[in-house]
Structures are given as structure tokens and as C-alpha cells.
Amino acid sequence: MKAYKQQWYENNRGIILDKAKEEPDVKEICVCGSTYWMKRKYIHEQTVKHCKYIQALQNTTPKPQPMTKDERNEKRKEKHICLCGSTYRKRDKAKHERTQKHQHYLKQQVANKEE
């Protein structure tokens, strides 16, 4: 009986070893910087180091923030500095271009060119 068991073990060990040879385990380098065996990937993904890395990654990835109402208002009020030295709001551009100061500046520019 003992001999039979021994024989069974010998036979099956051969099979087990063959199976191991068929699927060699591959070492992978994880994004977290660790290396793990492919077959143990799921174990590695539960390690503290890996989890911390993934968490940190999610925290540092900036999420696109929708513009707040205030920011939109600021954007609208945003002032532009004109070549003439004045500042004007974007929506007032046309109005500004009709101002004396701006017109005067334009005339000067033309005069300078003609010199």
C-alpha cells in the first residue's frame, strides 16, 4: 500500500512539474514601481503599496472643474490693455475704439509712419 502511494506521488509530481513548465510565470513591473508575478497580480493589487499608489494617483489627477459663476463674471469683466494705453472690457472694444484717446493714438501712429 505504501509503495503504491509512493508510485502515485511520483507519477503526479511529473504532471505537476510539466504544468509548471507550460506556464512560466512572468515578472511584471507595476506602475507603482513594484514587481510582481503575473499569476499573483491580484495579490499584488491588494498590497498596501499598490493601493496607496493608486490612491495618490487619483488624488493628484486634476479633475476638470466647472467654472464657477464668479469666475465667469470675472472673465466677462476681464480688461484688455489697448495699444493706446487704455484698458477696456472686451465687450466695450468697439466703444473704446471710438474714444478720443484711441482715435488720437491711431492718428499719431499714422503720422509716425508718414514721417
Interface with Zn ion, residue 30, by CB under 5 A: yes
* Residue type (1 letter), 13: R
Compute CA 34 distance to the chain's CA centroid, rounded to the nearest angstrom.
Answer: 21
**CB of residue 86 to Zn ion, shortest distance in Å:** 5
Contact (Cβ atoms closer than 8 angstroms) between residue 102 and residue 84 = yes
Please identify, using beta-carbon distances, which residue of 12 and 34 lies nearer to Zn ion. 34
Q: Contacting Zn ion (CB under 5 A), which of 24, 57, 81, 102?
A: 102
Residue 36 class from Cβ within 10 Å (0-12 exposed, 13-18 middle, 19+ buried)?
buried
Interface with Zn ion, residue 82, by CB under 5 A: yes
- Applying CB under 5 A, the span of 14-22, 45-53, 55-63, 66-74 interacting with Zn ion comes to 45-53
Compute CA 64 distance to the chain's CA centroid, rounded to the nearest angstrom.
Answer: 10
Using CB under 5 A, list all residues that contact Zn ion.
30, 32, 34, 50, 82, 84, 86, 102
